[in-house]
Structure 1
Amino acid sequence: MASSSRRLKKELTDIQSSDSRTFCCVEFDESNLLHWTGLLVPDKEPYNKGAFKVAIDFPVEYPFKPPKITFLTKIYHPNVDEKGQVCLPIISPDNWKPATKTEQVMNALLGLITEPEPDHPLRADLAEEFTKDRKKFNKTAEDYTKKYAMKRPDGY
């Protein structure tokens, strides 16, 4: 745990001091650095009308095992299931590399949100709609964002 705590403290400092516009407002409990929450702030339609709260849970074996990401804000997206679980290749056990940093994971997550992968869905119905009727998908995703997403932080 000591090595994972050192690494997580460094990554947290790096994220907080970076000018990244991807992931902000990171919160954590000083007694448990293995659980973070923060806001993912997409800049492309249909998700750019709000911010999405996500939880990042790091295993005790981090960085040798990948973190788990869960959307706490509802999102209309083919690669995020109804429970907020996300299918993100960079954190799959087969693809995970200990050198991968949390900020890289969040950038990959933002990429997936703004460019869905309908060929690898967790919600087949949304993947089909995304592929066959993009206009309808975008309208529903934007409506969901307006209804469920959090207010974007000032300056975003």
Structure 2
Amino acid sequence: MATATVAPALTKRLQHELMTLMTSSTPGVSAFPDADGNLTSWKATIVGPDDTPYAKLTLRLSMNFPHNYPYHPPQVLFKTPIYHPNVDFSGRICLDILKDKWTPAYNIETILLSLQSLLGEPNNSSPLNGEAAELWDKDMEEFKRKVAARHRDIEED
């Protein structure tokens, strides 16, 4: 696969963010560029926070950075199927900082921490998965059962 030319400023920013992540002691989040050498395509993981239906689950994500990052947000998708009010069945995420509330002050770590927080505090006023939003509000035991069933299905694949 041919590696696209990456602007020097973008390369510098992403390399800096990688070093920050590697030296950070932030538990439960990690991200690295893809093995193919494309610095604008990353794989990330977040571990579900305690006291949430996702506790101890490791969730994989993809992050693709546009040529004008950090002035525009990366495209972030859950690669691990997840049952959540703000994530659709394709892994697309409804999170304001990845859309209209983006600012260049955000970085990969803040994105991952925001997603980790979203696991325990969904925005049910803007759901991508209406059923999950309704269950979160009305029947947490059934919601937890669906999260566990979805994760079990993944482990069996």
Taking structure 2 as the reference length, the TM-score comes to 0.87
CA drift of 1:25 comes to 5.7
Q: Choose which of 20, 30, 34 in structure 2 pairs with 1:14.
A: 20
Partner residue in 2 for 1:65: 72
1:102-124, CA deviations, whole angstroms, 9 ceiling, x for partnerless residues?
10111111111122221110011
| Unaligned stretches of 5+ residues in structure 2 | 1-6
CA drift of 1:67 comes to 0.7
1:53-92 correspondence runs (5 A):
53-92=60-99
Stretches (4+) displaced over 3 A: none
| Unaligned stretches of 5+ residues in structure 1 | 150-156
Q: Choose which of 39, 44, 48 in structure 2 pairs with 1:33.
A: 39
Partner residue in 2 for 1:23: 29
Contact 1:24–1:38 under 8 Å retained in 2: yes
**Aligned mates of 2:105, 2:36 — CA distance in 1:** 24
One-letter amino acid of the structure 2 residue matched with residue 63 of structure 1: P
Count, aligned residues = 148
Q: Choose which of 134, 145, 148 in structure 2 pairs with 1:142.
A: 148
- RMSD, matched Cα: 1.6
Partner residue in 2 for 1:153: none
**Aligned mates of 2:153, 2:45 — CA distance in 1:** 16
Structure 1 residues 86 and 113, CA, compared in 2 at 3 Å: closer, same or farther?
Answer: same
Taking structure 1 as the reference length, the TM-score comes to 0.87
One-letter amino acid of the structure 1 residue matched with residue 27 of structure 2: R
**Aligned mates of 1:89, 1:25 — CA distance in 2:** 21
1:96-148, CA deviations, whole angstroms, 9 ceiling, x for partnerless residues?
11121110111111111122221110011111111111111112112323432
Identity of aligned residues (%): 32
Higher relative contact order (CA 8 A, sep 6+): 1
Q: Choose which of 108, 111, 116 in structure 2 pairs with 1:105.
A: 111
Contact 1:41–1:48 under 8 Å retained in 2: yes
Indicate the SS of the match to 2:122: coil
1:72-115, CA deviations, whole angstroms, 9 ceiling, x for partnerless residues?
110011100000000111121x2111121110111111111122
CA drift of 1:30 comes to 6.0
